[in-house]
Chains A and B, each alone.
Chain A
């Protein structure tokens, strides 16, 4: 019975020739909190290929057995934009040629932001099987969720392209476009990380996030252009979503940029990064106990 299985597996290629790694685990003190959090981030980035594959497979599995597959999302965005664009342009007395591209772009961006934040709450709890099966960097799970959300928003790009072509909107190329995209990717990673940690420890976080997002959807200029505010536009900078929306939206729709937009966007991103890193450094070793 053992004849064929008894042969030891001869593929010794897998055995690495490097010296054996040392894993020294102690209760965290002082600087070790920060050092280990940083190491976690670095080793997560080294596994970027795995994180991207996991995110890609998540999307692939989501559509297994579906006929329209990923295009359900594209279709629903298209229908929503068409219906809301015409109605709200009429209600707000705006030129539909100006309003519809604005609304399309805003809704797609908002869809990405709110999807990322809601999905972010379950980053670690949904990966509890992986977390309990082997030691791996927590940033890998965050990377996976970020890739998944980026691929989801990519489904909506055709809607934006069609609307822009239809209304002959020509985005004015500037260096701020790639910079804004990079900042969005970075911030979505950090926000996923932050909410992932909070959502693991406090199971009330997902409903809180959902209702906060609902308020922000109406408070932030998504359905309405910021120009509609006659005075006090600067107050909008206190809404973290506003500067982030503006840095990416204005180059595409060709609106005027408020000078304070980029400092505000970078400022909010810095706050997010510092808070996330501090919380992760403090809680990293505890996450496995919570999931």
Chain B
């Protein structure tokens, strides 16, 4: 059965650059407990600590938290890109990743060539690849741009292409980072229709976002990450209200209101919205 089990996950990045000794001294004096030393006395940044949760078919998990809270790292750990330093990650099912807008696409190749490459990576036959090609062509609505290099696309077009592609090769589990907000409102409606089809087939979605309305609409569970730890785990409304520090009523008539962007907990580190 499709599922994700994460137990006591720890991910830490070694810091190889710079003068390790003076760096250690500075860090010891100044910063929080996220910088520590491993058994070989190297300075490491603990990106994730003691993360434990289980996801079952139908779960749509949202990740909230400030910049550097570990959202993208957690998504990459679930995708098997970062293997655990401690604890374990067990993922059952085909994984689809939408972790960065370029999606590992070669920007110099045309959209069509990139679709072919993805199909080959997924181990599809030639006929399946052309089916995917048609599907993506219909969804992304790029017209003749599909035969131009991806670097000539606007960011919204790139997003439409990669989103269509990641969801055309039907994954059981879809991991999405917040960048897909680059699409316009009509794109997000279409994306939602497509995602709901996927999720209704008992698949799992894990999504990180800064947009409260997206979280409430798309997710049925939210995890709030802070400093690499789970601060809160619960229903979207409950977690968002705690995270934002105010009730969510104004979101109910969001059709007229502009998309509310979650406040940045750390103003010194502004997040560039796409």
A residues with a Cβ closer than 8 A to B are: 1-2, 4-6, 8-9, 11-16, 20-28, 46-47, 49-50, 53-54, 57, 61, 64, 129-136, 201, 285, 288-289
Known: A21-B94, A133-B104. 20 other contacts (CB 8 A): A1-B189, A5-B190, A5-B194, A8-B197, A9-B194, A11-B131, A11-B132, A13-B127, A15-B170, A20-B1, A20-B94, A24-B90, A25-B90, A27-B84, A27-B85, A54-B117, A64-B108, A133-B99, A134-B104, A285-B83
Using Cβ atoms and an 8 Å threshold, which residues of chain A touch B56?
none
Contact yes or no, A61 B81, CB < 8 A: no
Contact yes or no, A133 B80, CB < 8 A: no
Interface string of B115-126 (1 = CB under 8 A from A): 011001111100
Query: Chain B's nearest CB lies how many Å from the CB of A64?
Result: 7
Query: Chain B's nearest CB lies how many Å from the CB of A95?
Result: 48
* A275→B78 CA distance, assembly (Å): 31
In the complex, which residues 131-174 of chain B have their Cβ closer than 8 Å to any Cβ of chain A? 131-132, 134-135, 138-139, 167-170, 172
Interface string of B29-63 (1 = CB under 8 A from A): 00000000000000000000000000000000000
Query: Chain B's nearest CB lies how many Å from the CB of A148?
Result: 13
Using Cβ atoms and an 8 Å threshold, which residues of chain A touch B94?
16, 20-21
Contact yes or no, A134 B81, CB < 8 A: yes
Interface string of B164-205 (1 = CB under 8 A from A): 000111101000000000000010011001100100000000
Query: Chain A's nearest CB lies how many Å from the CB of B257?
Result: 19
Contact yes or no, A5 B139, CB < 8 A: yes
Residue ID in chain A nearest B9 by CB atoms: A25
Contact yes or no, A130 B104, CB < 8 A: yes
Query: Chain A's nearest CB lies how many Å from the CB of B151?
Result: 11
**Contact flag A289-B13 (CB < 8 Å), given A6-B193, A27-B84:** yes
- Specify which of A2, A14, A26, A57 is in contact with B106 (CB 8 Å cutoff): A57
Determine if B100 is an interface residue (Cβ-Cβ < 8 Å). Answer: yes
In the complex, which residues 80-130 of chain B have their Cβ closer than 8 Å to any Cβ of chain A? 80-95, 97, 99-100, 102-104, 106, 108-109, 113, 116-117, 120-124, 127-128
Determine if B27 is an interface residue (Cβ-Cβ < 8 Å). Answer: no
Using Cβ atoms and an 8 Å threshold, which residues of chain B touch A131?
81
- Specify which of B83, B97, B194 is in contact with A134 (CB 8 Å cutoff): B97
**Contact flag A22-B92 (CB < 8 Å), given A54-B117, A61-B109, A132-B100:** yes
* A96→B121 CA distance, assembly (Å): 50
Determine if B211 is an interface residue (Cβ-Cβ < 8 Å). Answer: no
